[in-house]
Structure 1
């Protein structure tokens, strides 16, 4: 059984606001180490989230990962 994660619904990213980049899990290993992504938090529509926090953008579950990037974890709803 999959554990249900209670993540806030944040809507779609607004390009006018501060947002951290979103990557697929498969992209994580390929991220260049010289990218200017070092941050202790992730941003979504100008709001900061701690490393390890989850949000739902539409039906997409995103996890804030080290370096301040969002990683797609799957669907928010079963």
Structure 2
């Protein structure tokens, strides 16, 4: 069974590396990318906006924590 697995793996690996298969995969990816280009750009823009929002929220939370820590230290110093 192991011999069959190794032989199949190498055959599959050689098949994927074949230039005709690579050309076909490139054509298919190019066609789908062109067909769905508007949806792809919209998804990338949405993900970028979500990332920006996440960073801004993290900065705001960090600023709040720093302010709370500063207030707690001032309260300790007054005691």
Structure 2-normalised TM-score?
0.17
Instruction: Tell which structure's C-alpha radius of gyration is larger.
Output: 2
Higher helix share: 2
Give the number of the structure whose residues are more often strand, by fraction.
1
